[in-house]
Amino acid sequence: MLQHKSQKNRKDINKRLNEGCGQGRGINYKPAIWIIDFPSQGFSVQGLGWKTQREHHLFSMSEFRYFYALEWSPIVIDIREQFPLELEETLDIAKQCGYKHPVNPNTGEPNVMTTDFVVTIPGTTGVGITDQARTIKPSRELQNPRVLEKFEIERRYWESHNTSWGIVTEQDIPEVLVKNVEFLHNYFFIENLSPLSKLDIKQITAVLAKDVIQGDVSLSDLAARCDERLALEAGSSLAVARHLIANRQWLIDMNQPLQAQFRKKLALLATPSLKYEINKSC
C-alpha cells in the first residue's frame, strides 16, 4: 500500500479511477497506481504477464517476487495488482474502528486505499472463480501499530466483500523458485523467440529433447551443439529450452537453481515430447 504523497499523484490516481481503473479482469484490468506515479519505487517485470498478457505495476521487491510466484502457480487464473478499495467504505470502516484514514499529507484529503494483489483462482467446488486479496509487507513492519491499523481497515473491507484476505511477507515467498521464474519470464511467449520461426523452434525442440534424453553432457553444451547443427545464432537453442520450461513442456525441479541445472545434465521429471506443442496462451 503506497502513500500518495504528492497532490499531482493523487489527482492522477483519482482521474484513473473515474476512467475505470480498478475494473475489469485479465488484459483489460488497469491498476489504480502506475509506475510513472512513483518511478523511483517501481519495478519492471520482464515482458508481459503470463496470465494477463499485460504490463504489471509493482512497487517493492517483495511485490516483484510474489508476482513471479503467482505466475508459476498452476491454479492462478488472473493477477490484479494495486487494486483500489471503495473510498466511502474504507472511510466508514476507519470511523468504526476509531482509526485515522490515510490522507494526502499535502492536502489532508483522504487517499484511496489499495490492496497489493487480488488473485483469482478456481472456485472451491470446481465451478466458477474465487478472488483472494493479498497484502505484501516486510515482516519487520508487522509490529508497527499504524501499519496494523491500516491492515485492519483492509481486512474488514474484504471481509464485507466475502473475500479472503491475508498478509504475505518475504518469509512466505520461495526465493529459488522466484529467481527461476525471473530467469524464464521473458521467454514464455513464442513471439519473444523472434527471429526464430515456428519451424526453427520445432526443429530445435526435436533435436534438444532427443539429446537431453540420450546425452550425458550439460544442457548448455547440448544447446551450443544444436545451434551449430542447425546453423542458428548462438543462444537460440538455449532460448527455446527456457521457453519449453516456462510453458511446462519440459518438467524440471523449479526449487533448484535453473542456471546451475543448465551447466550439467538436465534432470527432467518426465520424458519430454520430441514434438513442439504451441501453447494457446502464447
Q: Report how far apart, in Å, the C-alpha atoms of 76 and of each of 26, 71, 73, 101, 263 are.
A: 12, 7, 6, 32, 31
* pLDDT confidence of residue 36: 77
pLDDT in tens, 15-49: 777 777 888 999 999 998 887 777 666 566 767 99
How many helices (H) and strands (E) the chain has is answered by: 9, 4
Q: Residue 6 pLDDT more than 80? A: no
pLDDT in tens, 155-210: 999 999 999 999 999 999 999 999 999 999 999 999 999 999 999 999 999 999 99
Q: Residue 5 pLDDT more than 50? A: no
Lowest mean pLDDT of 219-223, 255-259, 270-274, name the range.
270-274
- Where does the pLDDT of residue 137 fall: very low under 50, low under 70, confident under 90, or very high at 90 and above? very high
Q: Residue 1 pLDDT more than 60? A: no
Which pTM does this prediction carry?
Answer: 0.91
Q: Residue 82 pLDDT more than 60? A: yes
* pLDDT confidence of residue 127: 72
pLDDT in tens, 197-241: 999 999 999 999 999 999 899 999 999 999 999 999 999 999 999
Taking domain 7-173, whether its CATH number is 3.40.1350.10 is answered by yes
Q: Residue 114 pLDDT more than 80? A: yes
CATH (residue range 176-262): 1.10.10
204-211 contact pairs (CB < 8 A, 24+): 204/230, 204/232, 204/236, 204/237, 204/240, 205/240, 205/244, 205/249, 205/274, 205/275, 205/276, 206/274, 206/275, 206/276, 207/237, 208/237, 208/240, 208/241, 208/244, 209/250, 209/272, 209/273, 209/274, 210/274
* Helix H or strand E segment including 168: strand 164-168
Q: Which residue has the higher pLDDT, 62 or 125?
A: 62
**In the block, which residue shows the cell 482509526?**
99
Mean pLDDT (the chain) is 91
Contacts of 15 (CB under 8 A, 6+ apart): none
* pLDDT confidence of residue 131: 97
Domain ranges of the chain: 7-173, 176-262
Counting residues of the chain whose pLDDT is more than 90, the rounded percentage is: 76
